């Protein structure tokens, strides 16, 4: 029981649990964006709802339209994630990297160790004469 408690309380397990919960909530937001906003806008562009398109094969019914809607939905989800999250985050990271490059001064390079020793030697020689 003690080992199980240690396992559960490790940071990475808790972080993973939080990530799953946030991911599920984020998935609901993206799904709503696609289904409630983007898909109706596609209807305005003349792209129909394919869900009623079926092909009868004997007594079976192949729902091609449902598959096409799912395919269109995944493309819209990917586009929404790319343009609303991935692209802005990449720009933000590039801006931060550029700021860090500007903020860091160039390291001051002085004489090498050999040059310093040579200077010390020469100074000591000039003092002794």
State which H helix or E strand residue 55 sits in: strand 55-57
Residue 69, helix vs strand vs coil: helix
Q: Give me the residue spans of the domains in the chain.
A: 2-102
More confident call, 10 vs 36: 36
Q: Does domain 2-102 have CATH number 1.10.10?
A: no
- State the residue for tokens 């009868």: 56
Global pTM value: 0.52
Each residue's pLDDT tens digit, 93-122: 999 888 877 766 667 788 888 988 899 999
Quick one: average pLDDT of 44-57?
A: 82
What percentage of the chain carries pLDDT values higher than 70?
95
Contacts of 21 (CB under 8 A, 6+ apart): none
* pLDDT reported for residue 87: 92
* pLDDT reported for residue 129: 67
Residue 90: pLDDT band with limits 50, 70, 90: very high
Q: What is the maximal distance between C-alpha atoms in the chain?
A: 113
């Amino acid at each position: 029981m003690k080992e199980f408690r240690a396992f559960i309380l490790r940071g990475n397990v808790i972080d993973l649990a939080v990530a799953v919960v946030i991911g599920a909530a984020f998935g609901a937001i993206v799904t709503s964006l696609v289904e409630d906003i983007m898909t109706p806008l596609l209807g305005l562009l003349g792209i129909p709802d394919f869900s009623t398109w079926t092909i009868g094969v004997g007594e079976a019914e192949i729902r091609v339209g449902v598959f096409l809607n799912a395919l269109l939905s995944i493309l819209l989800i990917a586009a929404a994630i790319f343009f609303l999250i991935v692209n802005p985050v990449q720009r933000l990271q590039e801006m931060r990297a550029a700021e860090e490059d500007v903020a860091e001064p160039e390291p001051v390079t002085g004489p090498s160790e050999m040059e310093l020793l040579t200077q010390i030697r020469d100074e000591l020689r000039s003092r002794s004469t």
